[in-house]
Structure 1
Amino acid sequence: MIHSMKISFISIVVLCFSGVVDGQAVLSKPENVPFAVTVFEDKARVHRQKEVEGTKGTREVVFSGLPASLDPASLRGRLVKSEDIKGLVLGVRMTREGLNTPPVDEVITLQEQLDNIKDQLLEVSFSLNRIELQSELLKRYRAILETSVSLTARELGKSFDSSLVHEIQQWLLDSDLSVAIEVDRLKQDQEKLNDRRGEILFDLNSYSIQEFDRGWTATVIFQLETSGTVSVELAYDVPTARWTPFHDARLDESTGFVSWEYGAKVIQSSGEDWKDVQLTLSTLRSSLGLSSGQLIPQEVTAIEIESKNKAARSLDSVNESPTEDSIRMDTEDFDDSWGAAPLVESDSGGVVTYQLKTPSSIPADGSAHAVTVAKYKMKATLDYQSIPLVSPRVFRRAKLVHEGIGVLLAGEVQCYRSGTFVGTGSVGTIYAGQSFEQHFGVEGRINVHVQDLQSFDKESSSSVFSRARVERRTGYTVKSYLEGEVPLELVSRIPVSMLEEVKVELGSDTEPTPQVNEDGICRWILNLKKGKPQEVILHWTAVADKGSEALLDLLK
């Protein structure tokens, strides 16, 4: 009886190829493991292959030990093309294998790790709340100081010495920096803990009873028109796999070159190890769907909101991508000694595929395993950069050009400077031929001192022609203790008015004259000599029409 048979026909896939596939008693190679894997962002496609000796007629070949996590609907069989032997695949029959015991000890260990991470995340959250309260106190201290200084200055007039409050201002600045560093550290810890939490949940999902109750056996049924040796290939998808890009940047100060390694962290817990497989990485996501969907009409109400196009404007100017529909990376552009020169394809739909040159091994342990995609050696234009409004520190900067072929996807970058690890950052997507910047840590031998030289606020009088006015002067003193002459870019800003009632201009006392873009970002290129300070003054004024004085409060 059919019901007494322990075979359930789950998927019959009929594909026609001018290739090969088999049935009945067949001689096959003992290898029954994956030989090629394509990892997507939300799954992996695994390929197995058997070489069989078949005679004319309908044949079968069995693939056993398939993981329980595979998607039965994804199963496909095909015959590798051959000029001498022709045939076609008639279908694929699947059967459940015996019961597997779930790894109870591993599940318990993962659950304990998950509980521990939850506790750590709670501690980080408490610490962030504490830092937030500290930051609020500093804001109040600063407001009290500004009010006290303003009142005192008005009483004393020109005899008031602003240097009296410098020490308090420096303490507030140092406290703000400490708070910022602590917040940055806590958020990095929080991000790492959340990543690890996601990995554990990913593993626990793959260790569910549904995943481990039974494995699969697949039988590929095919028909040969002539006798001979053919290769039968079986492909299937497993959902418990993914990959993320990462970068490793190493600056050699002595040569001015940056060694840039582009790699991927591959995670899989499909239930079967991938040993020495041909690995391909793709950004394709099956969850993107088959169409773009329906466009919803946009209605403009009585309240009109100005479109925020600054971000798009800056992206257009910085991340200009090539217009070619496809990009292919030739292996001859790379050193074969390290063996990871990839084949890279990018279509007009934005999908990028990396086919690694050398075999890769990815165990099914749910951990991240690094593989190298490509290596580059980039000539750097080195200088220093300081943005006092963001940080009081000076940073080493390398201006680079991606002269290789292919796309470097956005991801985490580990930075080293002359062999010393200086920190972890991030980099956006970089296209072939694109210029970009990478910073390599703090330079303590260059100091930038900031001083508020003069603030002037004038209320409008009763005159019809009078206008309220705000004026600011800020001084920057930059001093280098490095040998020789070094370039530094100093960056600040002036307000940008989007209103006709308020006009903001760069003041006449600004020295030297900076480069100012449409967003009010001011840049000075300074050539510093050891022990010789350079002075920069930023002066700007803002005036408001009669009746619009309140708008200037935003600039005070």
Structure 2
Amino acid sequence: MMRTSSLIIGCWLLLWALPVIGAPSAEVTVLKYVSPDAVTVFEDRARVHRRQVVDVAVGSSEVLFFELPGSLDPSSVRARLIGVPGLVLGVRLERNVHLEDVTEEMRLLVAAIHELSDQGRTNSFQVEELDRRKIIILRLAKILEDSFSTSGGKGLLGGSTSAQIIGAQQWIADRLLELNLEKDRLRLQGESIEKNRQDLVTDLEPLQGQRRRTTWSATVLIQTQE
């Protein structure tokens, strides 16, 4: 003996069934989808009603509902079978993640972010190189100072004149000034690169969110009786 029933699924997922008069069918579950009864979205929750018309045989049957909103609360799922003798044995939910096509805008943003990241790494390497050069020059300055002190001002390494020592000190001072100015320039450049990169990352985030769409599917297990 066959029973014909109408199932309604809602979220909070409240499922219930309404009797539908129909002719007997083969002992195969047939799902007939119709439009949702109502959809009301508020805050981060979704209140949704779904109705399906389905012919089921006496005994256990599964009824499937697809494309339920990803924002529903799975702990609020409820089901009822009304109009025919039987029970709802359970509702099984499965979360589905759908990946949308990557847009040309996303490709361009990702490429630009990678390019700026490369520029940022190059900038960091250049700053590190300046720091190494500065260390070398400061060591030379220390050697010059120590040698001048031990010679009592009479010459560097037994041969350099005061004019040569002053010239060497001036060269060191000029090189340190150049290094500091270049480091300041690279620091400003690095800050600009990072700001531009962060701006592009901010632009990319909502596009990535749109790329991933989450839905739920529900399997309702029912037991109908004669």
- TM-score when normalising by structure 1: 0.20
1 or 2, which has the higher strand percentage? 1
Say which one has the larger Rg: 2
